[in-house]
Amino acid sequence: MIDPFLADWLNLLLRWGHMIAGIAWIGTSFYFIALDFSLQKREGLPAGVGGEAWEVHGGGFYHVQKYLSAPPSLPDHLTWFKWEAYLTWVTGFLLLVVQYYLNAESFLIDPAVLPLTATEAIAISLLSIAGGWIVYDQLCRLLALRHPTLLILCVILLIAIAAYGFTHVYSGRGAFIHVGVFIGTTMAANVFMVIIPNQRKIVAALMKGERPDPRHGAMGKQRSLHNTYLTLPVLLMMVSNHYAFLTGHPQSWILILLIVVGGASLRHYLVRTEVGDEQREIAWLLPVIGAVLALAVVITTPAGKPAFTGEVSDADVLAIAQGRCVSCHAAKPADTTFSEAPKGVMLESLDDLRRHKPMIMVQAVNNAAMPLGNKTGMTPEERARLGAWLARQP
Ligand code: HEC
């Protein structure tokens, strides 16, 4: 078992690396889509050039020309954009190992959902990540370029099945991160297995003076399009697992679907704005996004009144905190996963509980996000009692 202090450092550095690579990946993806739409035609462009763009940034002027197929001869130095995607996946996978696999009992498993051992939970994770890609890839090949709309519906259905499946196997956080990992893996594998290899085939054909098979380009473009629409949902999936009102919700798979639909709609709105569509043509997307958001707010709104109406004494509440929270939330946690109180939250006294009232309401009363993975076996009645007591505190 890796020392919790060193694991924390590793976690922080991997998270940093993951963010750096992810920003670079999504940044280049956004940039090239915007660039593509800003290209303009004019008389006198070199043969094979479909459009050009002038840009100004950082004190310099850039003049970019896009060749529709390929230039007559390739330059010696050609910049490929692939390491951003690969490194985002590698750092993300290592972060999954450090945070979720090494602490499976705390972060991945919830015995009330499914009593898995750590080995089982990790095996399911690895198989589902690989299996998810295989199913997605086969769907794309099967429906290929003939049924693009049906394919998109199938991809959404696949994500819905993944969301339902993961939320019925893992803890809330474990499930949310796995939907994110599933989508992110698909995106990175699209780059690694389809977009870049097809691009290489095109380049190789051109070097030999042959006409490249247009299917290679079309396949790459289709995967690229999927990636474009998945960028915003995957970002929200990755950060949403810090929000107990999402991950701790009993029907959280519906919230995952709302994230996918809302995020993709927002991306569509941004893409169409870049294409130059009139606002009156695309403004209908805004109420759709608003409605998705409103639905999510309604679904996650906590019940107004405490579910427990009986007497709850200070001693009762202290006993609940001692039994269910203090193994982690203490200055010196007994739980070996943690070297200090998580997020500095200690719950050892009544004053501690009063101080953290709003957060405890969100984490442990209105949602079942705490105790983490319900490692200490908190019952619904205890949640209601804790809620009733907290509601009486100033
Ligand atoms: C198995 C260990 C463990 C147990 C038991 C546990 N927690 Fe936590 N708690 C954590 C961890 C880890 C975090 C930090 C989560 C994160 O980084 O998002 C946390 C965070 C919190 C936070 C801060 C949330 C935030 O957004 O900053 C609150 C409040 C909380 N726990 C309340 C409780 C309560 C109340 C109990 C008992 C009913 C409890 N926890 C039991 C591990 C635990």
Separation between Cα atoms, residue 224 and residue 296, nearest integer Å: 29
**54-58, 173-177, 213-217 — which is least confidently predicted?**
213-217
Instruction: Determine the average pLDDT of the residues in 209-237.
Output: 91
Q: Ligand 1 centroid to 373 CA: how many Å?
A: 10
Q: Is the pLDDT of residue 305 over 70?
A: no
CA 35 to chain centre: 26
Is 342 a pocket residue for ligand 1 (Cβ < 6 Å)?
yes
Query: For the segment 75-129, what is each residue's pLDDT rounded down to a tens digit?
Result: 888 889 999 999 999 999 999 999 999 989 889 999 889 999 999 999 999 999 9
Our mutation pick for probing the ligand 1 site, out of 324, 332, 337, 345, counting the most ligand atoms within 8 A of Cβ, is 345
| Average per-residue pLDDT for the chain | 92
Is 18 a pocket residue for ligand 1 (Cβ < 6 Å)?
no
Spatial neighbors of 45 by CB under 8 A, at least 6 apart, are: 51, 52, 65
Report the atom number in ligand 1 closest to the C-alpha of 383: 38
Is 324 a pocket residue for ligand 1 (Cβ < 6 Å)?
yes
Of 53, 55, 56, 31, the C-alpha closest to 42 is 53
Question: From the CA atom positions of the chain, what is the Rg in Å?
Answer: 25
pLDDT of 1 reads: 67
Spatial neighbors of 194 by CB under 8 A, at least 6 apart, are: 137, 219, 220, 223
Our mutation pick for probing the ligand 1 site, out of 8, 335, 343, counting the most ligand atoms within 8 A of Cβ, is 343
Is 325 a pocket residue for ligand 1 (Cβ < 6 Å)?
yes
pLDDT bracket for residue 188 (50, 70, 90)? very high
Angstrom distances, CA of residue 97 to CA of 7, 69, 181, 195, 350: 10, 42, 12, 27, 36
Report the atom number in ligand 1 closest to the C-alpha of 325: 37
Report the atom number in ligand 1 closest to the C-alpha of 353: 35
Separation between Cα atoms, residue 388 and residue 305, nearest integer Å: 9
Whose alpha carbon is nearest atom 24 of ligand 1?
359
Enumerate the domain spans of the chain. 78-300, 314-392
pLDDT bracket for residue 197 (50, 70, 90)? very high
Is 327 a pocket residue for ligand 1 (Cβ < 6 Å)?
yes
This prediction's pTM: 0.87
Whose alpha carbon is nearest atom 11 of ligand 1?
342
Q: Is the pLDDT of residue 373 over 90?
A: no
Instruction: Determine the average pLDDT of the residues in 14-25.
Output: 97
Handedness of CA 31, 34, 37, 42 (dihedral sign): negative
- Tokens standing for 173? 């956080």
**99-113, 204-218, 380-394 — which is least confidently predicted?**
204-218
Q: Is the pLDDT of residue 166 over 80?
A: yes
Whose alpha carbon is nearest atom 1 of ligand 1?
372
pLDDT bracket for residue 18 (50, 70, 90)? very high
Is 371 a pocket residue for ligand 1 (Cβ < 6 Å)?
yes
Q: Is the pLDDT of residue 306 over 70?
A: no
Q: Ligand 1 centroid to 161 CA: how many Å?
A: 29
Please say whether the beta carbons of 341 and 328 come within 8 A: yes
Please say whether the beta carbons of 12 and 89 come within 8 A: no
Report the atom number in ligand 1 closest to the C-alpha of 327: 5
Q: Is the pLDDT of residue 227 over 90?
A: yes
Q: Ligand 1 centroid to 363 CA: how many Å?
A: 7
CA 163 to chain centre: 12
Separation between Cα atoms, residue 37 and residue 285, nearest integer Å: 20
Q: Is 13 exposed, middle or buried (0-12, 13-18, 19+ CB in 10 A)?
A: middle
pLDDT of 67 reads: 87
Separation between Cα atoms, residue 332 and residue 299, nearest integer Å: 37
Angstrom distances, CA of residue 146 to CA of 140, 187, 202, 326: 10, 21, 21, 58
Q: Ligand 1 centroid to 360 CA: how many Å?
A: 8
